[in-house]
Amino acid sequence: MDKYLVVLLGPTGVGKTDLSIFLAEHFNTSIVSSDSRQIYKEMNIGTAVPEKEYLERVKHYFIGSLSVKDYYNSWKFEQEAINRISQLHHSSDVVLLVGGSMMYIDAICNGIDDIPTIDKDLRDDLQKKYEEEGLDSIRMLLKKLDPVFYAQVDLKNGKRVLHAVEVCLMAGKPYSELRTKNQKERDFKIIKVGLNRNREELYDRINQRVDIMIEDGLIEEAQKLHDLKHLNSLNTVGYKELFGHFDGEYDMEEAVRLIKRNSRRYAKRQLSWFNRDKDIMWFNPDDKEEILKAIKAKMQ
RNA sequence: GGUGCCAUAGCUCAGUUGGUAGAGCAAUGGACUGAAAAUCCAUGUGUCCCUGGUUCGAUUCCAGGUGGCACCA
């Protein structure tokens, strides 16, 4: 009997959660979350974690399982989620992967190349060099360490250049040699269901959801995390804009405006990424029965 | 009803001494392999309210109309 992973993806605010409960109950299965921010237990309101009732009705994994202080990345997620999925496949033929974090989804569906974990000291040293000597000096390093990747990389993107240098130094060989781009074999079949709405409707939903988050106490939630704002986990839409307000950079109205705008832009970036993937079947989240039918057809 | 002011991008507005126009905000498209809700790149989208007039040429000047605002009745 074939095992299936049904991947439910789409931009933020499109309505993945409601549909995921419907599908999970229909297939009598669990949900593995592929959301890089809902995984942190201190960030519930701002990341629109499914409401308590849903979490009780359907077993969810990778929601609220980490602290914002924990270091995490998509490679770790790949290891842990793949393990979890195969364990769940013992008792269920269908498992749901639900979330909008593009690279987390990719890590499960395609796999990520094996490269060494970067030493914290090395990361800090390079970061310091970047800040003191500028991007150009990091670029020169990369040119020397890995001319092949240097020719491919977006040289204006500091993070990319920096990371490539880190990997070269850590691995002792060029990053480009480690980038196989090989698709990993999985022992389950993948069915990708993409959710989208017309742009105006999607943006309305995003805007409204931000207002609801504020009513639900997002400001208080962010206040508690203010001291930790330097953490990567808190470099997140909904929190960083409030930190800016707490630090006196602008008023609350402006903070809310920025949260809405940045959420919309995030949704746009997600769509850009997903649109490349020709395996995705696209639907409006309201068409539940149609979606179910399409999934079942794929399982024939 | 009268007088005055205004009408230009999705919004707020600038501008053209007459040669079809540009800022901010918003928006759009894209990249992406161990920070990814991150990070980076690119893009001005327009009956310049309508109809006539003057002019080689009108978004710009003139007249009328329409709509909005203010004041006076």
pLDDT 10s digits, A22-55: 999 999 999 999 999 999 999 999 999 999 999 9
How far is it between the farthest Cα atoms of chain A? 59
Band of pLDDT at residue A270, cut at 50, 70 and 90: very high
Query: What does each C-alpha distance from A243 to A47, A228, A235, A257, A267 come to in angstroms?
Result: 16, 10, 10, 14, 21
pLDDT at site A96: 97
In this prediction, residues A198-206 reach a mean pLDDT of 93
Nucleotide of closest approach to A39 (CA, C1'): B37
In this prediction, residues A130-159 reach a mean pLDDT of 92
Query: What does each C-alpha distance from A37 to A78, A113, A215 come to in angstroms?
Result: 15, 22, 20
- Contact in structure between A206 and A12 (CB atoms under 8 Å): yes
pLDDT 10s digits, A221-262: 999 999 999 999 999 999 999 999 999 999 999 999 999 999
pLDDT at site A183: 83
Q: What's the mean pLDDT when you consider all of chain A?
A: 94
pLDDT at site A87: 96
Please identify residues in chain A, positions 246-275, with a C-beta within 7 angstroms of any atom of strand B: 257-258, 261-266, 268-273, 275
Query: What does each C-alpha distance from A86 to A106, A187, A188, A278 come to in angstroms?
Result: 17, 8, 8, 25
Nucleotide of closest approach to A238 (CA, C1'): B37
Nucleotides of B under 7 A from a protein CB: 25-41
Residue A114 approaches strand B within 7 Å at CB: yes
ipTM of this complex prediction, to 2 decimal places: 0.90
> What pTM value is reported for the model?
0.91
pLDDT at site A69: 95
- Contact in structure between A64 and A50 (CB atoms under 8 Å): no
Contacts of A117 (CB under 8 A, 6+ apart): A75, A170
Which residue in this structure is represented by tokens 């670029």? A139
Please identify residues in chain A, positions 194-213, with a C-beta within 7 angstroms of any atom of strand B: 199, 203
Residue A120 approaches strand B within 7 Å at CB: no
Total length of chain A: 300
